[in-house]
């Protein structure tokens, strides 16, 4: 009926949560824990959210509420290459929406989705602070500046080539 529960979270994360529980307000470590989980697995899966809730003893509904409140937390797996199109004011007036449109039609997915081969996902970001290079796109750690819709196929092609 009730027995030893097997978790899919890795031991060091479970240990970290156990450490948090020794603090005065364990629930205040929820965001830190979620950061750690997303850092390891790339996104917050339902099973991981549920496990965090059970180990930290914070209601699952609360954990899910926090995870969905912050844009930073991802609930779906991201592609190996995460395409982030800056939608800040400067990028936007210089045509970021059509750059975003080009990525969407080229990859055949919507914002927040991942291609079926697991290679690419697209998201829009707030201003990343390099307005002089607008419109700006980042793909993982690489930065692409002054991007036009016409360059999008080549950018994706080059990434695939180096994969």
Applying CB under 8 A, the residues found at the interface with another protein are 1-2, 46, 49-50, 53-54, 57-65, 68-69
Report in angstroms how near the CB of residue 48 gets to another protein at its nearest.
12
What is the closest distance, in whole angstroms, from the C-beta atom of residue 33 to another protein in the complex?
15
| 135 DSSP 8-state letter | S
44 versus 99: smaller Cβ distance to another protein: 44
Return the structure tokens found at 21: 């529980």
Least distance (Å) from another protein to the CB of residue 50?
Answer: 7
Nearer to another protein, 50 or 106 (CB): 50
* Closest approach of another protein to the CB of residue 23, in Å: 18
Within 13 A of 110's CA, how many CA atoms are on the CB side? 1
Q: Which is nearer to another protein, 69 or 148 (by Cβ)? A: 69
Cα–Cα separations (whole angstroms), residue 113 to 70, 124, 127: 17, 11, 21
Q: Which is nearer to another protein, 6 or 154 (CB)?
A: 6
């Amino acid at each position: 009926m009730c027995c030893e529960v097997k978790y899919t979270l890795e031991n060091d994360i479970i240990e970290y949560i156990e450490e948090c529980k020794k603090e005065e307000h364990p629930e205040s470590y929820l965001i830190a824990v979620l950061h750690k989980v997303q850092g390891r697995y790339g996104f917050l899966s339902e099973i991981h959210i549920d496990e965090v809730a059970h180990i930290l003893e914070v209601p699952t509904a609360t954990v899910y509420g926090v995870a969905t409140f912050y844009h930073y937390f991802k609930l779906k797996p991201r592609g190996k290459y995460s395409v982030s199109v800056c939608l800040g004011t400067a990028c936007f007036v210089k045509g970021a929406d059509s750059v975003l449109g080009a990525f969407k039609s080229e990859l055949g997915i919507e914002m927040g989705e991942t291609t079926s081969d697991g290679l690419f996902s697209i998201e829009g970001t707030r201003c990343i602070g390099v307005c002089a290079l607008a419109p700006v796109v980042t793909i993982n750690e690489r930065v692409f500046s002054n991007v036009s819709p016409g360059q999008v196929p080549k950018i994706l092609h080059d990434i695939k080539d180096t994969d």
